[in-house]
Structure 1
Amino acid sequence: MTGANVTGRSRTVGVDLQASGDDVRNLVAAIEKDNPDITVRYLPGLIKIQKTGPLVIRRESVEELLGRPWETHEFQLAIVSYYGHVDEWDDDEIVIKWSH
Structure 2
Amino acid sequence: MSTVFIALQTNEDTRPIVEAIVQDNPDAIVNEAPAMVKIDADGKLVIRRETIEELIGRSYDLQELQINLITMSGNLDQTDDEMTLYWNA
Gaps of 5+ in 2: none
With normalisation by structure 1, the TM-score equals: 0.86
User: Which residue is 2:9 aligned to?
Assistant: 18
With normalisation by structure 2, the TM-score equals: 0.96
Letter matched to residue 66 of structure 1: I
Question: SS of the counterpart of 1:63?
Answer: helix
Runs of 4+ displaced beyond 4 Å: none
Determine what percentage of the aligned residue pairs are the same residue.
40
- Select the structure of larger CA radius of gyration: 1
Structure 1 position 95 matched with structure 2 position 84: yes
What does 1:1-100 correspond to in 2, within 5 Å? 10-21=1-12, 23-86=13-76, 88-100=77-89
Gaps of 5+ in 1: 1-9
Question: SS of the counterpart of 2:14?
Answer: helix
Q: In structure 2, how many angstroms separate the alpha carbons of the residues matched to 1:63 and 1:78?
A: 17
Q: In structure 2, how many angstroms separate the alpha carbons of the residues matched to 1:72 and 1:82?
A: 15
**Offset at 1:40?**
0.2
Q: In structure 2, how many angstroms separate the alpha carbons of the residues matched to 1:78 and 1:64?
A: 19
**Offset at 1:37?**
0.1
**Aligned Cα RMSD in Å?**
0.8
For residues 21-72 of structure 1, what are the alpha-carbon distances to aligned partners after superposition, in whole Å with 9 as ceiling and x for unaligned?
Answer: 1x20000000000000000011010101000011000000000001110011
